[in-house]
Structure 1
Amino acid sequence: MNIHDIAKLAGVSSTTVSRFLNNGYVSQSKREQIQKVIEKTGYAPLLGAQTMRTKRKKLIGVIIPKISSESVSRTVDGISEAIAEQEYQILLGNTSNDPEKELQYLSIFQTNTDGILFMATILTEKHRQMLRGMKIPVVLIGQRLEGFDCAYYDDFGAAGELASLLIRSGCRRPGFIGVTLEDRAAGLARQNGFLEAMREASVDVPNERMCYGPFTMESGRRSMEKLLAVCPDLDGVFCATDSIAVGAMQTLRAAGRKIPQHVAVVGVGDSQISGIIEPALTTVHYHYKTSGAKAAGMLLDRLEHNPHSPQQVSLGFEVVMRGSCRC
């Protein structure tokens, strides 16, 4: 008997049974249903026996950049559902966007887990060296690296689509608020996608209208202050994340600029707040939960079948049109 049998008898999903066994949140009614079935059948998870038979620990290490991030939580949700079906458990490593902590968790998880799902931000040469020497499989989420399994987003294409929206809305003096270019996805690819669309439309974006900072609302507020100082007649702004966009919008309102009549604003991420603020933010929706499930599936496939060639999957995006852009 396994968790699938328990789930069927209790009338719940296998994921719910897995959460119950791992002391995760399960509603009281479902908890009672599962407990009754376990008591009736005498079921007990034999993790140690599984490990002896398969030489597996049945543990997956998940390295994340920021536990409070909405996109991270959606991604981990997809991971959890996918691996629970195979009776794996998660060890979570929160790095707080610290590259050194990422390296530490890679080292720790190499000896304590069967495989690693790595939501990478900045891949330094140290990262590349360590990844090449790993003795267990690693799947990257959100970044693309040759020779490794990856589930990543089309950041270049998404930024280009948003920049084209600004152009079609009449913007001819746009600004850009991005993040560190060491982040090749959210930083470099989104910058390049924006600039390429502007070049194709013959819209000039001088360096003084290109700002960079952390992934925060405060960064958006301060960067927008700088943009308005160097370009008082700014008529549009691309923000690399929704959080940055919300901060930028706060500064615009404080300066008496109407959105989108005076300045159009676009962001990336389709976070909950993007649909709540006024006007609601035009943004790009990434399928974070799907990316987590896809990456987990790739890792499980690597563990079970060890395919010869790395799998690299680019996930799509959807532009979400709202009131912050004039289109």
Structure 2
Amino acid sequence: MTTLKDIAQLAQVSKSTVSRYLNNGQVSEKTAKKIEQVIAETGYEPNALARSLKATSSQLIGVIIPRFNSSSTSEVLAGIDEVAMKEGYNLLILNSNQNLQQEMEHIQTLDRQNVAGIILFSQKFHPALLDIVSKTKAKIMILGQSFERFNYTTYDDYQAGKLIAQHAIDLGHKDLLYINPSEEDEAVGKVRAHGFIDWVEQYPVKYQVISSSFDRLDNYRLAHQILPDITATYIACATDRMAISFLKAAIELEIEVPSQLSLSGFGGYNDGQFVHPNLTTVKYPFKEAGQVAMQSLLEGIEDQTEELKQITLGVELLQGKSTGPKKS
């Protein structure tokens, strides 16, 4: 039996475009003719129930972000917006300000507005939030975290931690320090940190983990507290923003990076490449994640199936000038 996906492939357009055509949405005359021809040739008959469900939905996608002042959020949003514009959807962006109650209220508000779908940037999953997500009528795509019961697009944070650990070990460092934010953030605070710890524990090296936050000022103050008496020769900060705060403090304390202290982050943001020395980091495909999350969400909306879409994107080491061999 011919499916909507078959029609899209034969017409060389997306499934969302075919769906818009079938529901009298806006498509170009040239595209409409291509789709019409393929439908005629295949004898495709659209599912009446799926079309009626689609007709009651909007062309609006709700996006719930944790905060505005985030480089990764900006890059992901650029990817989401690119696909949304291409497929004829509009975005409604709501900021939870890293507040769980606000996040849950935003989900309920968007669901009442009959949005076609929701992309949720989530740092932690409370049982109450899981309950709301499971009861939401709109399709939901979780971004940045992985959960067995839901659609998600995330990154290989465990591998990221291993990459930085191996880099430090390859440079000959025997005393390592890992600066970690709250473990309430599943991906960054737990998975990424565990990748680093599990890897270094395979080698005869000393390491310590110190808890901090994502805030730049908090990390700047922490760096000023611990750097004067530090014995570690390599510091791995859980994000580039945290690493930049440590780099600023090191410069002020006249600690030379990397000859006296190696320093790295995670993220691969442009900010980290415009400081001196530029940061060694793990590069994350943030814009690609936004594109993949949005496209996968739209495919789920068009298919009207319950099949889970769970995607993990790879990461890569980006070596800058902020790390170097341990001095003997």
TM-score, normalised by the number of residues in structure 2: 0.81
Where does structure 2 lack aligned partners over 5 or more consecutive residues?
1-23, 32-50
- How far apart, CA to CA, are the structure 2 residues paired with 1:6 and 1:210? 60
Partner in structure 2 of residue 237 of structure 1: 235
Partner in structure 2 of residue 218 of structure 1: 217
Q: What percentage of aligned pairs have identical amino acids?
A: 24
- How far apart, CA to CA, are the structure 1 residues paired with 2:54 and 2:203? 62
Letter of the 2:81 partner, please give it.
Answer: S
State the aligned residue count: 282
Is the contact between residue 174 and residue 204 of structure 2 (CA under 8 Å) also seen in structure 1?
no
Partner in structure 2 of residue 57 of structure 1: 58
Partner in structure 2 of residue 291 of structure 1: 289
How well do the aligned residues superpose, as a CA RMSD in angstroms?
Answer: 2.2
Alignment of 1:1-327 (within 5 A): 5=28, 54-112=55-113, 113-205=115-207, 209-228=208-227, 232-326=230-324
Letter of the 1:288 partner, please give it.
Answer: F
Pairwise CA distance, 1:194: 1.1
Is the contact between residue 279 and residue 322 of structure 2 (CA under 8 Å) also seen in structure 1?
yes
- How far apart, CA to CA, are the structure 1 residues paired with 2:308 and 2:214? 30
Pairwise CA distance, 1:136: 1.5
Pairwise CA distance, 1:93: 0.5
Pairwise CA distance, 1:272: 1.4
Letter of the 1:214 partner, please give it.
Answer: S
Cα distance change, pair 188–55 in 1 and its aligned pair in 2 (3 A): same
SS of 2:87's equivalent in the other structure is coil
Is the contact between residue 118 and residue 140 of structure 1 (CA under 8 Å) also seen in structure 2?
yes
Is the contact between residue 301 and residue 307 of structure 1 (CA under 8 Å) also seen in structure 2?
no
Letter of the 1:219 partner, please give it.
Answer: D
Cα distance change, pair 93–7 in 1 and its aligned pair in 2 (3 A): farther
- How far apart, CA to CA, are the structure 2 residues paired with 1:53 and 1:274? 44
- How far apart, CA to CA, are the structure 1 residues paired with 2:226 and 2:134? 42
SS of 1:182's equivalent in the other structure is coil
- How far apart, CA to CA, are the structure 2 residues paired with 1:268 and 1:6? 46
- How far apart, CA to CA, are the structure 2 residues paired with 1:296 and 1:118? 11
Pairwise CA distance, 1:3: 5.6
Letter of the 1:65 partner, please give it.
Answer: P
- How far apart, CA to CA, are the structure 2 residues paired with 1:198 and 1:176? 11
Pairwise CA distance, 1:172: 1.2
